[in-house]
């Protein structure tokens, strides 16, 4: 009985709701998004309860995440970017926690990685992209369009402007596909190694002893997946800051 590695990404409705032809069911994806949001809120409120000057462990963790993102925004987008701190912090914590919660072992629960679906990551990336455009137009008006015209001699501009426009339009796609593909590939690989362990262990004889090898591989890949979860959340957040920096300060040098 071989389950396909893609079955863990199936979205199944838990509470079917239909409004005419529109399917608004509360699915397992919705449930795990609620769990992610609740765990982020729990993590931060637990860290902020009973604050002391010499912080306790949970308070240290919460303050660590706060200063980490604040430093990142200040270095990538300048002090003006700090106005966007709540948004970027929310984005980072949501992506990080949904990546990590998807790595929980399937014991008693069926964890679901919210960010392993392109529609979720595309919604986040599209929001970032539209926000960057709105911020740029609000701040600079139509002068924002000089973002596509770097200071080069005018014959090169004819080539540079289409290149700049295409690279700008590819930003939401690259942001979303990067996160989605990393999560998809990682979890699929874990599943495939799992089937190796089960297959070898069930084959009997010498092969059952060999099933330790894919088990060690799963442990190593899980460690790598934890690193990738942090890294992808960090990269999503820092690229958002870099795009914001482009919108806030058009071509100014630091």
Partner 1 sequence: MDVESARLLGAGIASIALVGAGVGIGLIFGNYLNGALRNPGAAGGQFTNLLVGFALCEFTGLLGVVMGFIILFT
Q: Which residues bind partner 1 (CB under 8 A)?
A: 6, 72, 75-76, 174, 177-178, 180-182, 184-185, 231-232, 234-235, 238-239, 242
Tell me how far, at minimum, the Cβ of 228 lies from partner 1, in Å: 9
Phi-psi region of 49 (alpha: psi -120 to 50; beta: other; left: phi over 0): beta
Tell me how far, at minimum, the Cβ of 96 lies from partner 1, in Å: 14
Q: Could you write out the three-class secondary structure of 30-87? A: HHHHHHHHHHHHHHHHHHHCCCCCCCCHHHHHHHHHHHHHHHHHHHHHCHHHHHHHHH
DSSP 8-state secondary structure symbol assigned to residue 12? -
Task: Return the bridge partners of 23, or none.
Answer: 18
DSSP 8-state secondary structure symbol assigned to residue 111? -
Tell me how far, at minimum, the Cβ of 90 lies from partner 1, in Å: 20
Tell me how far, at minimum, the Cβ of 185 lies from partner 1, in Å: 6
Residue 118 or 137 with smaller CB distance to partner 1: 118
Residue 40 or 72 with smaller CB distance to partner 1: 72
Tell me how far, at minimum, the Cβ of 11 lies from partner 1, in Å: 15
Residue 200 or 240 with smaller CB distance to partner 1: 240
Residue 133 or 181 with smaller CB distance to partner 1: 181
CA 59/CA 204 separation, integer angstroms: 50
Are residues 69 and 92 in contact, defined by beta-carbon separation less than 8 angstroms? yes
Residue 47 or 245 with smaller CB distance to partner 1: 245
Are residues 102 and 110 in contact, defined by beta-carbon separation less than 8 angstroms? no
């Amino acid at each position: 009985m071989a389950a396909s590695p893609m079955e863990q990404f199936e979205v199944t409705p838990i509470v079917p709701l239909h409004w005419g032809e529109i399917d608004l069911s509360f699915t397992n994806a919705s449930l795990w998004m609620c769990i992610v949001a609740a765990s982020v809120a729990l993590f931060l409120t637990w860290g902020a309860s009973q604050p002391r000057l010499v912080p306790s462990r949970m308070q240290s963790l919460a303050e660590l995440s706060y200063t980490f993102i604040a430093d990142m925004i200040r270095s990538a987008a300048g002090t003006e970017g700090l106005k966007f701190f709540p948004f970027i912090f929310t984005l980072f914590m949501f992506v990080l926690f949904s990546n990590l919660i998807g790595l929980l072992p399937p014991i008693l629960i069926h964890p679901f990685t919210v960010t392993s679906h392109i529609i979720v990551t595309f919604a986040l990336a599209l929001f970032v992209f539209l926000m960057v455009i709105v911020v740029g137009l609000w701040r600079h008006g139509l002068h924002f369009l000089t973002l596509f015209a770097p200071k080069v001699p005018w014959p090169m501009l004819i080539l540079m402007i289409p290149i700049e426009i295409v690279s700008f339009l590819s930003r939401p796609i690259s942001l979303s596909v990067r996160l989605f593909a990393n999560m998809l590939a990682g979890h699929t690989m874990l599943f495939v190694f799992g089937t190796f362990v089960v297959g070898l262990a069930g084959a009997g004889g010498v092969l059952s002893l060999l099933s330790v090898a894919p088990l060690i591989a799963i442990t190593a890949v899980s460690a790598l997946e934890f690193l990738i979860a942090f890294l992808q959340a960090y990269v999503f957040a820092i690229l958002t800051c870099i795009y914001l920096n482009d919108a806030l300060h058009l071509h100014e040098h630091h």
